[in-house]
Structure 1
Amino acid sequence: MKHCFNVTKRRMLKFGVLSVFCAASPLLAPVAHADWKPTQYITYIVPFAPGGLTDVAARMMAKGIGDKTGWNIVVSNKAGANANLGAAEAARAKPDGTTWLAITMTHAVNKTLFGEKAGYDVEEDFVPVAKIASSAIMVVVPENSPIKTLQDLIDTAQKKTLNVGSSGTGTPPHIAMALFQDLTGTKMTHVPYKGGAPSMVDLIGGQLDVVFSNYPESLPYVQQGKLRAIAVTSDQRAPAVPDVPTTAEAGLPGLKVDNFTGLLAPKGTDPALVREISDRVVKVVGDKAIGEQLVKLGFIPDPMGSDQFKTYLNEQIQALSKTIKDADIKVN
């Protein structure tokens, strides 16, 4: 602390600024994050298998941010336990800005579905950094199905029990199906698969009547004419299938499911550093070329800063909790 007194002490005391000067000392001041350069690589944990939609988006963001900042961002896939394994690992990481977690709607669901068994609490153990984008659920039927519209689906489901596939228990497609049943007073037979791809195969083959699918998983088959899309659960129509109405336009506005992807950091990360990373993410998502790539993947770019994303995430958790409890969804 000697350097605090290298200036004329009397002059400092005269103007009452000695304490201010010492508080601003480089030894005591908080780190300025405007030009933050991590001393080691950043681990961007993706709790899903490589090649999936979340993984591809994360790698896109890692490259975009790295190109603009010089940060060395390494995507690390930690799949397992319904995306809980990687999340639990991230929750235990040092809160110094060098560990990021990619999350989706699945983690908002897991808060209720698994509770303490998840091994972490998505609200208590993390700090929201930024939302990146949204991805709708697309309601699809076989191309030769007599079901042409969402109203047709409602009418048919009220007359007989339909077989409905999903990418797994508690996944966004399953939640969408459960919400549909709750809104329409129908009862369907849920057929969970280990991923969305096999459900598409069985839907095309006629073993299923309908699938509430992750948009990117069913889009190629819709474009090839093998499946018919009757609605998307987003606020806006999907750019790649502009003729497919939203669920609100089709007469069921309550059927809105936002399968989002965003970024979290471990609890305790310096708020100034969180803002710095958040700003970088939002700017990259706003880049025209990145935005176009996200759209091609099936996303709708929807960047949110830390505070806005925190509110959004809390609202999603509350809404999804109600749907899960009303539908009595459980995992073994």
Structure 2
Amino acid sequence: MTRKLLPRRLVLTLLCAIALPASAENWPNKPIRIIVPYSPGGSSDIIARAISGPLSDALKQTVIVENKAGANGNTGTDAVAKANDGHTLLLCDVGALAITASVYAKLPFDPSKDLKPVAMLAYSPHLLVVHPSVTASNLQELVALSHKQKLNFAVTAIGSAPHLAGVAVEKATKAEWQYIPYKGGAQAIGDTVGGQTQVLMNGMLATLPHVQSGKLKVLGVSKATRVPLLANVPTIAEQGVKGFESGTWQGVLMPANTPPAVVAKVSAELTRIIRSPEVRERLVSQGAEVYTMSPAEMSSFFERERKNWATVVAQGGVKIE
């Protein structure tokens, strides 16, 4: 008797279906991993650690935050996109993720198809900061200075949202600076604090403590309106770059094969946690705004960001092979 063998792709699909929970009733049934695709100390890492304890309490299961940096965030993101255990979450800058497909000629995953939006958590504007030795006290003076001396501009990664924000400001003001790429916000901040680089654009959540300590000098905020914690600092739009606004949008995604019931459960818990007074106050005191979205709203936001940043990428000629 001859037995027919199932196609390999169908076998893999069936195995994945068996591995994933059929509903949210018995989920989670093992530890949950929150993958942060950047080095420790950045905005996404800060938020992941702020929510991990409350999420563990709510779901009565261990929640582990794992930093999996590499390839401008693509290493960790790819790991989540290919996860089939039903217990792996990605916490990243959703705006930066929307940029990825425009910057990279080839990716091992499709951000729009292989990941499912779960919940938006927070927003923080970018701060334009310089090392205290830089004599400029506003954006106009920084632009003028860039024509007289070499200024190294630290970027968290080539093609990241802070990098493209810097490109947009450079193009609008005709500034001149040399981009120095890093493997994450913590490293970019560290070298700017140390004076190896002179200029930095980065998320307020991770950068504000260094401004408050005097290790960095802030020249502008990339928000439409001034922020209360830095009420005396003008926005970049106020300083001549009309309509300019950028920032980091931290959110959670899961693999596309995650059952809708699980996505809904995680979304509800994360939204409740991030809105809780203790977590909200902790983040607001550091410069982040709690900014929640449902999975559907987050999906629409992602598509808008993808289109908007694609234009900036094309104008800046940013491409990674």
Shorter-chain TM-score tier: 0.7 to 0.9
| Aligned residue among 300, 316, 319 for 1:311 | 300
Aligned position for 1:240: 229
Aligned position for 1:65: 55
Q: Which has the bigger relative contact order, CA under 8 A and spacing at least 6?
A: 2
Superposition TM-score, scaled by structure 2 size = 0.81
1:154 CA drift (Å): 4.0
1:93 CA drift (Å): 1.9
CA contact (8 A) 1:97 1:274 kept: no
1:301 CA drift (Å): 1.3
Aligned position for 2:46: 56
Cα distance between partner residues in 2 of 1:286 and 1:63:
15
1:57 CA drift (Å): 1.3
CA contact (8 A) 2:144 2:175 kept: no
**1:80-128 alpha-carbon deviations (Å, 9 max, x no partner):** 222111211211222x742211121332222222243x31111111111
1:173 aligned onto 2:162: yes
**Aligned to 1:129, what secondary structure does the other structure show?**
strand
Superposition TM-score, scaled by structure 1 size = 0.79
Aligned position for 1:89: 79
Stretch deviating more after TM superposition (131-140 or 215-224): 215-224
* Letter in structure 1 aligned against 2:83: A
CA contact (8 A) 1:127 1:267 kept: yes
Distance of aligned partners of 1:194 and 1:100 in 2 relative to their CA distance in 1, 3 Å threshold:
closer
Aligned position for 2:173: 184
Aligned length: 300
| Aligned residue among 245, 264, 268 for 1:279 | 268
Counterparts of 1:214-233 in structure 2, within 5 Å, are 214-233=203-222
Where structure 1 has 5 or more consecutive residues not aligned to the other structure, the ranges are: 1-29
1:306 CA drift (Å): 0.6
Distance of aligned partners of 1:93 and 1:144 in 2 relative to their CA distance in 1, 3 Å threshold:
closer
**1:148-190 alpha-carbon deviations (Å, 9 max, x no partner):** 2223334555777644232332233211111112223444322
1:204 CA drift (Å): 5.4
Distance of aligned partners of 1:279 and 1:164 in 2 relative to their CA distance in 1, 3 Å threshold:
same
1:262 CA drift (Å): 0.6
Where structure 2 has 5 or more consecutive residues not aligned to the other structure, the ranges are: 1-20
1:37 aligned onto 2:27: yes
* Letter in structure 1 aligned against 2:34: Y
Cα distance between partner residues in 2 of 1:220 and 1:60:
16
**Aligned to 1:83, what secondary structure does the other structure show?**
helix
Aligned position for 1:289: 278
1:75 CA drift (Å): 2.4
1:256 CA drift (Å): 1.5
* Letter in structure 1 aligned against 2:232: D
Aligned position for 1:268: 257
Distance of aligned partners of 1:201 and 1:165 in 2 relative to their CA distance in 1, 3 Å threshold:
same
**Aligned to 1:119, what secondary structure does the other structure show?**
coil
Cα distance between partner residues in 2 of 1:245 and 1:220:
18
Aligned position for 1:25: none
1:300 aligned onto 2:292: no
Aligned position for 2:200: 211
RMSD across aligned positions (CA): 2.8
CA contact (8 A) 1:78 1:86 kept: yes
Cα distance between partner residues in 2 of 1:321 and 1:331:
14
Runs of 4+ deviating beyond 6 Å: 158-161
Distance of aligned partners of 1:42 and 1:192 in 2 relative to their CA distance in 1, 3 Å threshold:
closer
| Aligned residue among 63, 75, 80 for 2:65 | 75
Distance of aligned partners of 1:58 and 1:198 in 2 relative to their CA distance in 1, 3 Å threshold:
closer
1:134 CA drift (Å): 1.4
Aligned position for 1:21: none
1:78 CA drift (Å): 2.2
Cα distance between partner residues in 2 of 1:198 and 1:97:
32
Stretch deviating more after TM superposition (56-65 or 36-45): 36-45
